[in-house]
């Protein structure tokens, strides 16, 4: 199956982010990163059935309320994403078995004595057609690690992220927390390639249904019988999947973060303007700028009831040629 081409608006935004200096340092003192980490924590845990309002989440992170699932996820993501950013600066993508165990261990700190250990028996994913392998969970994770460079080399980044996330969730190597581990790994890989976090929505039933449907479409090659733990067998199984739904979901999950970071990068040196004022500088009507925003030709952020932007947030119309990391 021929994978769809990545969205042009996503490609242009990633190129603009590089032009404006790339990802800022990860840290809770950076308002944009704080927002992204908080929102990812809330959305990812919602997929797992741990629902929290913004106020509840902030109360937990501020130490005013107990919530180990929330605190563990936020801290694990913050630490791993900072590491990913350091590897990105070195031009490396490094994932290993110890890192995967560490993510699970951090997520279940004070919650499970078997944290960081792969399962040793069978498991069923509620409502899913795929049946994870009953044995050899560690061998399958090692195979998944072998897949990473081959998939990243064969596909665009967005296509690779979809395949790697679906295959990890199909393996389901832990007794619990596979979705949380998988989504942190997804964003670790994304940040390693210069992307902001991809926030998969989960607070609404429709969001969760879309995510589950995208996983099911992608793991088609794993449903009738699970392939043996070899890279070639896993690649053949992946080739049977339809990854269009997952790619669309991931693209929708990263675009808002790109807009936040792009606006912040420009605003650090020059104030944004309401579209009504910016239109005068471009010599066009405000309605034209709104069309540019809709068509992905201009990045704008909403402040109150108004859209704000800047001339530097005009996206190039020509095709952007770049390496795999920025497609």
Could you tell me the pLDDT band of residue 321, with boundaries at 50, 70 and 90? very low
Lowest mean pLDDT among 42-46, 229-233, 247-251, 313-317: 313-317
Q: pLDDT by residue (tens digit) across 157-191?
A: 999 999 999 999 999 999 999 999 999 999 999 99
Whether residue 197 is found in the same domain as residue 317: no
Asked whether 178 and 48 are in contact (CB, 8 A), the reply is no
Asked whether 298 and 314 are in contact (CB, 8 A), the reply is yes
Looking at residue 117, its pLDDT comes to 97
Whether residue 245 is found in the same domain as residue 307: no
Q: How far is CA 24 from the centre of its chain?
A: 17
In a domain, 267, yes or no: no
In a domain, 227, yes or no: yes
Helix H or strand E segment including 274: strand 273-274
Distance CA 289, CA 284 (A): 8
In a domain, 138, yes or no: yes
Q: Of 204, 234, 259, which one is at a domain's C-terminal end?
A: 259
Domain count, the chain: 2
Q: Domain span at residue 295?
A: 272-326
Looking at residue 30, its pLDDT comes to 79
Burial class of residue 200, CB neighbours in 10 A (0-12, 13-18, 19+): buried
Query: What is the model's pTM?
Result: 0.92
In a domain, 160, yes or no: yes
Q: pLDDT by residue (tens digit) across 229-240?
A: 999 999 999 999
Could you tell me the pLDDT band of residue 317, with boundaries at 50, 70 and 90? low
Whether residue 203 is found in the same domain as residue 149: yes
Whether residue 144 is found in the same domain as residue 243: yes
CATH code: domain of residue 136: 1.10.3290.10
Q: Once rounded to an integer, what is the mean pLDDT over residues 216-235? A: 96
Q: Which residue has the tokens 């405000």?
A: 286
């Amino acid at each position: 199956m021929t994978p769809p081409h990545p969205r042009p608006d996503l490609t242009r935004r990633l190129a603009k982010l590089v032009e404006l200096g790339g990802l800022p340092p990860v840290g809770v003192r950076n308002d944009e990163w704080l927002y992204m980490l908080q929102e990812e924590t809330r959305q990812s845990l919602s997929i797992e059935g741990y629902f929290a309002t913004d106020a509840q989440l902030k109360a937990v992170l501020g130490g005013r309320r107990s919530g180990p699932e929330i605190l563990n996820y936020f801290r694990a993501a913050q630490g791993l994403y900072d590491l990913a950013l350091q590897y990105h600066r070195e031009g490396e993508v490094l994932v290993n078995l110890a890192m995967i165990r560490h993510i699970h261990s951090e997520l279940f700190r004070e919650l499970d004595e078997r944290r960081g250990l792969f399962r040793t028996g069978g498991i069923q994913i509620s409502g899913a057609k795929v049946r994870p392998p009953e044995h050899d969970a560690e061998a399958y994770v090692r195979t998944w690690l072998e897949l990473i460079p081959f998939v990243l080399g064969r596909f665009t980044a967005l296509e690779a992220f979809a395949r790697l996330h679906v295959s990890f969730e199909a393996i389901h190597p832990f007794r619990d927390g596979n979705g949380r581990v998988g989504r942190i790994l997804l964003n670790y890989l994304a940040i390693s390639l210069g992307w902001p976090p991809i926030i998969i929505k989960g607070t609404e039933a429709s969001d969760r249904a879309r995510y589950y449907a995208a996983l099911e479409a992608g793991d088609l090659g794993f449903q009738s019988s699970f392939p043996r733990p070899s890279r070639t067998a896993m690649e053949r199984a992946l080739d049977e999947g339809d990854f269009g739904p997952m790619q669309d979901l991931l693209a929708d999950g990263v675009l808002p973060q790109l807009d936040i970071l792009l606006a912040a990068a420009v605003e650090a040196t020059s104030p944004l303007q309401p579209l009504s004022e910016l239109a005068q500088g471009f010599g066009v009507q405000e309605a034209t700028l709104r069309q540019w925003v809709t068509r992905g030709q201009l990045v704008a952020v909403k402040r109150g009831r108004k859209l704000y932007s800047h001339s530097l947030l005009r996206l190039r119309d020509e095709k952007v040629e770049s390496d795999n990391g920025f497609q």
